[in-house]
Amino acid sequence: MSGPRIVVGMSGGVDSSVAALLLRDAGAEVIGLFMQNWAEDDAAGDCRAEDDRRDAVAVCGRLGLPIRFRDFSREYWDGVFRHFIDEYAAGRTPNPDVLCNREIKFKHFLGAARELGAEAIATGHYARIDCIDGRHRLLRARDRGKDQSYFLHQLGQAQLAATRFPLGELDKGEVRRIAAAAGLPTAAKKDSTGICFIGERDFRSFLAQYLPARPGEMRTPDGTSVGTHPGVFYFTLGQREGLHIGGVRGRPQAPWFVVGKDLARNLLYVDQGHESPWLQSTTLHSEAAHWIAGAPPAARFACTAQTRYRQAEEACEVEVRDDGSLQVRFARPQRAVTPGQSVVLYDADACLGGAVIAATDAPAIAPDHAWSPAA
């Protein structure tokens, strides 16, 4: 008697390859599915999607698995990319991987798998799922350095019930060893980084195709002009790269960082020092939160949080507002907490949920006169 039918999202990388292998060896009836999420054109010609497709086909051939193909590029454009551009145009820094998981991989992909008669879907994400008293939990991966629960915090009970994460108990080195031992062509393939549809392209050049350059002035918080920028929406809080600020009279030879943006006046504010006081905050306010369990654990509770991927956990106190938004107070100051990114909450290894960051209590930069963040 065959095991459950499971459709594995085959990305053409080593992680999804090993996920399919493990499920096959566990007795499941495995079908591979390759998703095209971006319409190839000259603007994204080096996304390597065709290479990934060939690798996915080669892996399924090696494993003796059927493979199917689905084009979700229209769904990606409508459900992810429009929001991505709108957020940058508003001066915020979105996280498209979170939206892609919610809107594409665990919505349209899940729907396609059900059309194929699957009982569940599986991906190569590093995360775990368990079920206690009928309630599913999203847990961090055993390999904390590869844990991807941050990007999965928008999943709900129905999605978790229909999902498998075969790599949740493994570390990356073991995954590559399993792939090599099985002769998979992706065993030594380099991990993809950044946003998949951009590939190895320069991010600013890519964004400029949708948000044309609008040069403006770079200033310090005290109002001193130190250069020009190509467009405030190309930069994010805490960013060092791409500022191209030379020697400034009366200033030390120290790195500069983005500490603020004035979209209305097209000003980019910069300061020296990785730990600039203009980047520090202890409280953030969010948009309405999503809860893995369907509801928050309490109206007020203590937990840990991350405001960016691979950040160390930080102790905090959470207050859930009447409109579902959050106020999160940290035990110690946080650097460069960025509107548009996500705050994700944890109770030990269990991901509780999260929300998009709307604002923080970092010092505001007065537009027309100098003042100190300590004032």
Question: According to the 3-state scheme, what is the secondary structure of the chain?
Answer: CCCCEEEEECCCCHHHHHHHHHHHHCCCEEEEEEEECCCCCHHHCCCCHHHHHHHHHHHHHHHCCCEEEEECHHHHHHHHHHHHHHHHHCCCCCCHHHHHHHHHHHHHHHHHHHHCCCCEEECCCCEEEEEECCEEEEEECCCCCCCCHHHHCCCCHHHHHCEECCCCCCCHHHHHHHHHHCCCCCCCCCCCCCCCCCCCCCHHHHHHCCCCCCCEEEECCCCCEEEEECCHHHCCCCCCCCCCCCCCCCCCCCCEEEEEEECCCCEEEEEECCCCHHHEEEEEEECCCEECCCCCCCCEEEEEEECCCCCCCEEEEEEECCCCCEEEEEEEEEECCCECEEEEEEECCEEEEEEEEEEECCCCCCCCCCCCCCC
Q: Which of 306, 287, 286 is nearest to 352 (CA)?
A: 306
pLDDT on residue 193: 65
Mean pLDDT to the nearest integer, 66-93? 93
With cut-offs at 50, 70 and 90, classify the pLDDT of residue 374.
Answer: very low
pLDDT on residue 41: 55
Mean pLDDT to the nearest integer, 251-258? 90
pLDDT on residue 215: 95
Lowest-pLDDT choice from 42-51, 132-141, 162-171: 42-51
Mean pLDDT to the nearest integer, 114-118? 96
For residues 304 and 367, which has the higher predicted lDDT (pLDDT)? 304
Task: For each of the domains in the chain, give its residue range(s) and CATH number, in order of start.
Answer: 5-181 (3.40.50.620), 213-274 (2.30.30.280), 279-360 (2.40.30.10)
Catalytic residue (choose from 60, 100, 316, 351): 100
pLDDT on residue 49: 80
Instruction: Check pLDDT > 50 for residue 43.
Output: no
Catalytic residue (choose from 196, 303, 316, 351): 196
With cut-offs at 50, 70 and 90, classify the pLDDT of residue 45.
Answer: very low
Task: Please state whether beta strands 135-140 and 127-132 pair in parallel, antiparallel, or not at all (unpaired).
Answer: antiparallel
Instruction: Check pLDDT > 70 for residue 274.
Output: yes
- Residues 192-248 pLDDT 10s: 766 655 555 677 888 888 999 899 999 999 999 999 999 999 999 999 999 989 777
The answer to whether 196 is a known catalytic residue is yes
Q: How far apart are CA 35 and CA 195, in angstroms?
A: 15
- Residues 340-365 pLDDT 10s: 999 999 999 999 999 999 999 999 88
With cut-offs at 50, 70 and 90, classify the pLDDT of residue 371.
Answer: very low
pTM, two decimals, is 0.92
Share of the chain above pLDDT 70, in %: 93
Residue in the block written with tokens 């010092």? 363
pLDDT on residue 202: 72
pLDDT on residue 254: 87
Query: In Å, what is the CA distance from 372 to each residue of 5, 217, 279, 309, 363?
Result: 62, 21, 13, 31, 9
pLDDT on residue 246: 78
